[in-house]
């Protein structure tokens, strides 16, 4: 439900906030024109293609471990505040990293050194991988209860090189860890419709960098609904989605392909937004619908948490079912594997179903997926984390109840 209602909850807040606003937000920096976007995209792709190969120094072989990387997550402390924890690769050793007097919300892990950035009490805070060196990078000030989205720091995202942090606050921002300077590159746009009422024309916050660091998936928010775009930091170019009906994809957990050439997004709910499985060409923004939510024969395709693995196969959760109404949730998804088109060679990898799945985090080699199972049907965030193997080995229970799973380096 967290994925399902991400846009809805944001824009419900925005609607309430708009009723209390008396003046529009000043016009911000405008991203490049469509022609400029095309030029910047082409230049970026050429630079990546022409870059000479980088030598890789072989690393000493590490002893076998349960997990491929350290695992970070949000769990509650003794005072019931949400804090950041880290589990080591042995799948046993666990350490609490933050000890904040208020709950931690958004957070991210540097792929470079495992340092952590997080938001609590409307402050953006950095610390080293072991929890030491806590430093406030940015204080957003007091949150206006009437306009919380306009005054709150949200969605912090490390760049792949660990040198900067993208975040949302009145628009899309980048904070340089080298200089300590923050730069607002695209400002949220609001419309004054009269009577002191402001409605969002278009809002921006970061989601995920591409592996090559050249592109950033950005969420776009509107008065009703939402979408996504691809932002090119070099050139301040915002590449909007286009093409198929999936060009308005807004929900689920999009994930980049390893070569940064494409995005895959899957959404398993029919209701306010349509279910479906989509592929986005990162060079053009063109969206291709691989599986439409409405199959057209009285059945519905419900995919979730797609991952294009190193073996070239697409792994995801899926069910096709017949329903009398379009509002569908907690469907009996199965773990499947297919060709990259999501259709050919689709095979169920396990007989069990995943009605209570709230989160999924894939192992890099797709040998397993971490699944957070809700304790009861009406809990839609977090849950008991289990290792679910794609070769049908028995599940391994890792943690009783957590939220927002992330791999460390």
115's tokens = 């340092």
Q: What is the pLDDT of residue 75?
A: 97
Name the region of 109 (left: φ>0; alpha: ψ -120 to 50; beta: rest): beta
Q: What is the pLDDT of residue 299?
A: 92
Rounded Cα distance, 275 and 294, in Å: 8
Rounded Cα distance, 139 and 142, in Å: 9
Rounded Cα distance, 121 and 123, in Å: 5
Give the containing element (helix H, strand E) for 42: helix 34-50
Q: What's the pTM value of the predicted model, to 2 decimals? A: 0.85
Identify the CATH number of the domain defined by range 1-42+68-240: 2.120.10.30
Strands 299-308 and 135-139: unpaired
Listed in sequence order, the DSSP H helices in 157-297 are none
Contact 229, 247 (CB under 8 A): no
Mean pLDDT for back-to-back runs of 10 residues, the chain (409 residues):
42 38 37 58 53 48 80 96 97 97 97 96 96 96 76 96 97 97 95 81 95 96 88 94 78 90 92 85 95 91 96 97 78 96 97 95 98 94 97 94 96
Rounded Cα distance, 343 and 353, in Å: 19
CA dihedral for 346, 350, 352, 357, sign (positive or negative):
negative
Listed in sequence order, the DSSP H helices in 87-235 are 148-151
Nearest to 241 by CA among 280, 192, 291: 280
Q: Is 283 helix (H, G, I), strand (E, B) or coil?
A: coil
Long-range interactions of 352-360: CB distance < 8 A, separation 24+: 353/319, 354/317, 355/330, 355/331, 356/330, 356/383, 357/304, 357/317, 357/333, 357/383, 358/1, 358/2, 358/382, 358/383, 359/383, 359/403, 359/404, 359/405, 360/253, 360/304, 360/305, 360/317
Q: What is the pLDDT of residue 13?
A: 39
| Domain residue extents for the chain | 1-42+68-240
Q: What is the pLDDT of residue 10?
A: 42
Q: What is the pLDDT of residue 321?
A: 92
Q: From residue 380, give the alpha-carbon distance in Å to each of 19, 90, 95, 374.
A: 29, 28, 25, 7
Rounded Cα distance, 341 and 279, in Å: 9
Radius of gyration of the chain (CA): 21
Q: What is the pLDDT of residue 225?
A: 80
Q: Is 285 helix (H, G, I), strand (E, B) or coil?
A: coil
Nearest to 275 by CA among 320, 241, 308: 320
Q: What is the pLDDT of residue 326?
A: 66
Give the containing element (helix H, strand E) for 50: helix 34-50
Residues 6 or more apart in contact with residue 376 via CB below 8 angstroms:
356
């Amino acid at each position: 439900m967290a994925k399902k209602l991400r846009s809805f909850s944001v824009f419900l807040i925005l609607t309430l906030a708009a009723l209390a606003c008396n003046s529009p937000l000043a016009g911000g920096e405008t991203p490049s024109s469509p022609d400029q976007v095309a030029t910047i995209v082409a230049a970026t792709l050429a630079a990546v293609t022409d870059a000479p190969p980088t030598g890789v120094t072989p690393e000493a072989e590490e002893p076998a471990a349960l997990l491929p990387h350290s695992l970070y997550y949000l769990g509650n402390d003794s005072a019931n505040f949400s804090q950041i924890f880290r589990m080591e690769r042995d799948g046993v050793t666990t350490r609490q990293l933050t000890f904040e007097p208020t709950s931690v919300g958004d957070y991210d892990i540097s792929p470079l050194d495992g340092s952590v950035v997080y938001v609590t009490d409307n402050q953006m805070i950095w610390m080293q991988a072991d929890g030491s060196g806590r430093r406030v990078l940015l204080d957003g000030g007091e949150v206006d209860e009437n306009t919380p989205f306009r005054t709150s720091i949200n969605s912090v995202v490390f760049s792949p090189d660990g040198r900067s942090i993208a975040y949302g606050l009145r628009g899309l921002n980048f904070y340089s860890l080298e200089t300590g300077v923050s730069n607002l590159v695209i400002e949220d746009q609001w419309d004054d419709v009269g009577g002191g009422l402001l409605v969002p024309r278009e809002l921006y916050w970061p989601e995920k960098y591409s592996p090559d660091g050249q592109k950033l998936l950005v969420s776009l928010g509107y008065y009703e609904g939402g979408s996504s775009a691809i932002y090119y930091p070099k050139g301040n170019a915002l590449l909007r989605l286009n093409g198929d009906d999936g060009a308005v994809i807004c929900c689920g957990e999009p994930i980049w392909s390893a070569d940064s050439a494409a995005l895959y997004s899957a959404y398993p709910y029919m209701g306010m937004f349509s279910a479906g499985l989509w592929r986005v060409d990162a060079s053009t923004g063109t969206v291709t619908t691989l599986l439409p939510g409405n199959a057209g024969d009285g059945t519905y395709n419900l995919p979730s948490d797609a991952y294009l693995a190193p073996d070239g196969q697409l792994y995801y959760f899926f069910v096709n079912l017949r329903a009398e109404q379009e509002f569908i949730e907690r469907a009996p998804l199965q773990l499947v594997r297919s060709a990259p088109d999501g259709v050919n060679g689709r095979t169920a990898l396990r007989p069990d179903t995943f009605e209570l799945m709230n989160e999924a985090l894939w192992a890099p080699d797709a040998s397993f997926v971490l699944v957070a199972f809700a304790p009861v049907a009406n809990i839609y965030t977090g849950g008991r984390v289990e290792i679910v193997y794609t070769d049908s080995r028995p599940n391994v229970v890792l943690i009783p109840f957590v939220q927002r799973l992330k791999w460390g380096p």
